[in-house]
């Protein structure tokens, strides 16, 4: 017999369950009972395992984190339509209209990509840097703070579209007003952040909008003059931005290092199509960026950040990495897993039936992409990563990407891994149980929250799978 209280509780839980955040919603995950993670002794590792646990377990945060899981994340993170290969032409693009209000938004240049500040001069010159795509990606891409509403991004804040979108559509209490009380017109551009980083005399002509937040440096003036133009985000960064919130919510983890590891693995578990979308997005971002800041060079930002360690000489023996005294590179994840993950994902890639020729057809996403996906290991941090054959990076091949993609396009992206896979069967440990691609296309092209939810679910599925597989002692 249930007491009133119990009944009430159940009701509440049900309510939350039904109306609550999708991210927290029970997702039909193929449950992997045992997260036979090898012993994690450190707190970090514990967290990690917990994180994985979260990812694999349904009971997660539905209630527990209901308050802090942002219900919007699944909805407002990347709207998948942005990625959809079949994204309608810009003139049809829904994004131009405020999805919620339906009010046609004039794609103010500054909104093309909220991420980049507009260089006064550049703006005009930019007819349609990415006309066919930008209005969509740009906005949403960065407009939605992954950490979102819990930790409103200062710079990301929200641009006009975002705020209107969110505020109009979602309950107000979730929407934190622009932290700095910036007007919607005074959109802070994330890319132009001139934070603590000391400005380096880099030649760029950007309106002195943002003022250094922290740097008390005497050269503020200079800073103002030359705001720090950030690098365009790469595919993975974009992915992280989108997914971080989810992971944080699901796992209650906050340490970025740990989260990033998770994301890294998830990234590898993504299908080609999905990754391709991010690559595509990234490519366009770069395009836009280059158009906005023609003279900008990544090198301009060199030295703005306090020397980055990077002690890991590829040569340095694994043992050597003790060099780092500070916070000794804690392997949030078992090292072997880390290694496997990639390999496994690799395998999955191979398995992946889909020949997202369409998606990959784009110059950026291209096959090259693939190679990278298959080539997960970061050389920088993982010495042994090297062992994996290195595929030509798409980036370098930026030019080549297109070529490669185009050339190999016919041969399908799958060909990329070929080199690797072909030569090294790297035991396709990871076989994707669910033909992810099957549900994908529709979801991608559909802005419907449901689709997105589905996508989210899909993500969730994958999260768990790779992890489970990882546990396999692949060697």
Q: Under rule CB under 7 A, which residues in 249-278 are in contact with DNA?
A: 254-257, 260-261, 263-264, 267-268, 275
Assess 38 for contact with DNA (CB under 7 A).
Answer: no
Q: Which stretch binds DNA (CB under 7 A): 29-37, 79-87, 91-99, 393-401?
A: 393-401
Q: How far apart are CA 400 and CA 391, in angstroms?
A: 13
- 289 within 8 A of 181, measured Cβ to Cβ: no
Q: Select from 235, 251, 467, 469 the one that contacts DNA (CB under 7 A).
A: 235
Q: Least distance in Å: CB of 322 to DNA?
A: 10
Which token pair is 103?
A: 């009010």
Residues touching DNA: how many (CB under 7 A)?
Answer: 87
Give residues 347-376 in contact with DNA (rule: CB under 7 A). 364, 369, 372-373, 375-376
Q: What are phi and psi of 104, to 5 degrees?
A: -65, 120
Binding flag, residue 393, DNA (CB under 7 A)? yes
Mask 307-346, x = binds DNA (CB under 7 A)?
A: xxxx-xxxx--------x-xxxxxxxx----x---x----
**Residue pair 293/229 in contact by the 8 Å Cβ criterion:** yes
Q: Binding pattern to DNA, positions 209-228, x when CB under 7 A?
A: -----x-------------x
**Binding flag, residue 72, DNA (CB under 7 A):** no
What is the CA angle 389-393-397, rounded to 5? 135
CA–CA gap between residue 123 and residue 291 (Å, rounded): 9
* Residue 395 binds DNA (CB under 7 A): yes
Should residue 390 be labelled a site residue for DNA when binding is judged by CB under 7 A?
yes
Considering the complex, state which of residue 88 and residue 318 has its C-beta at the smaller distance from DNA: 318
CA distance 273 to 77: 18
Nearest distance in Å: CB 291, DNA: 12
Considering Cα of 29, then 30, then 31, then 37, what sign does the dihedral take? negative
Q: How far is residue 338 CA from its own chain's centroid? A: 19
Q: Which of residues 172-211 bind DNA (CB under 7 A)?
A: 190-191, 193, 196-197
Please state the closest distance from residue 89 (CB atom) to DNA, in A.
24
Residues 143-172 that bind DNA (CB under 7 A): 145-147, 151, 153, 155-156
The pair of three-digit structure tokens given for residue 248, joined into one six-digit string: 């944080």
Residue 124 — φ and ψ, nearest 5°?
A: -60, -40
Distance of CA 266 to the CA centre of its chain: 10
Report the alpha-carbon distance of residue 134 to residue 100 in Å, rounded. 19
CA–CA dist 375, 417 (Å, integer): 9
CB nearer to DNA: pick between 228 and 246: 228
Choices 20-28, 71-79, 280-288, 462-470; region in contact with DNA by CB under 7 A = 280-288
Task: Give the shortest CB-19-to-DNA separation in angstroms.
Answer: 25
| Residue nearer to DNA on the CB measure, 59 or 313 | 313
383-396 in b/e form (b: 16+ CB < 10 A) is bebeebeebbebbe
């Amino acid at each position: 017999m249930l007491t009133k209280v119990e009944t009430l509780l159940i009701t509440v839980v049900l309510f939350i369950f039904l109306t609550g955040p999708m991210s927290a919603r029970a997702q039909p995950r193929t449950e992997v009972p045992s997260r036979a993670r090898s012993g994690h002794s450190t707190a970090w590792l514990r967290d990690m395992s917990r994180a994985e646990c979260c990812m694999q377990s349904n009971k997660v945060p539905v209630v527990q984190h209901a308050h802090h899981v942002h219900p919007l994340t699944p909805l407002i993170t990347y709207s998948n339509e942005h990625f959809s290969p079949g994204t309608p032409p810009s003139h049809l693009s829904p994004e131009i209209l405020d999805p919620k209000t339906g009010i046609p938004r004039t794609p103010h240049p500054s909104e093309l990509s909220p991420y980049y500040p507009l260089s006064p001069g550049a703006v005009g010159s930019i007819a349609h840097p990415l006309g066919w795509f930008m209005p969509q990606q740009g906005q949403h891409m960065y407009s939605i703070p992954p950490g979102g509403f819990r930790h409103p991004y200062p710079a990301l804040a929200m641009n006009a579209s975002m705020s209107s979108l969110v505020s109009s559509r979602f309950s107000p209490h979730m929407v934190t007003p622009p932290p700095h009380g910036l007007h919607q017109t005074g959109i802070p551009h994330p890319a132009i952040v001139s934070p603590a980083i000391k400005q380096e005399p880099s030649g760029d002509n950007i309106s002195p909008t943002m003022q250094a937040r922290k740097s008390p440096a005497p050269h503020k003036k200079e800073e103002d003059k030359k705001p720090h133009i950030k690098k365009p985000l790469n595919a993975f960064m974009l992915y992280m931005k989108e997914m971080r919130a989810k992971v944080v919510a699901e796992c209650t983890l906050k340490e970025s290092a740990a989260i990033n590891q998770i994301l890294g693995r998830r990234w590898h578990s993504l299908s080609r199509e999905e990754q391709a979308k991010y690559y595509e997005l990234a490519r366009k971002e770069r395009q836009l960026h280059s158009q906005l800041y023609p003279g900008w060079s990544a090198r301009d930002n060199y030295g703005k950040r306090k020397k980055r360690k990077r002690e890991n000489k590829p040569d340095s023996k694994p043992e050597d990495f003790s060099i780092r005294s500070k916070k000794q590179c804690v392997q949030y994840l078992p090292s072997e897993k880390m290694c496997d993950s990639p390999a496994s994902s690799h395998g999955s890639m191979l398995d992946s039936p889909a020949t997202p020729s369409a998606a990959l057809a784009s110059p950026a996403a291209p096959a090259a992409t693939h190679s990278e996906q298959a080539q997960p290991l970061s050389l920088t941090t993982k010495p042994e990563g090297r062992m994996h054959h290195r595929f030509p990076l798409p980036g370098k091949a930026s030019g080549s990407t297109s070529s490669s993609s185009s050339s190999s396009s016919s041969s399908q992206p799958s060909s990329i891994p070929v080199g690797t896979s072909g030569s090294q069967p790297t035991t396709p440990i990871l076989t994707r149980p669910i033909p992810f691609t099957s549900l994908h296309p529709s979801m991608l092209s559909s802005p419907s929250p449901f689709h997105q939810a589905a996508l989210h679910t899909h993500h969730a599925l994958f999260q768990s799978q790779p992890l489970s597989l990882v546990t396999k002692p692949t060697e």
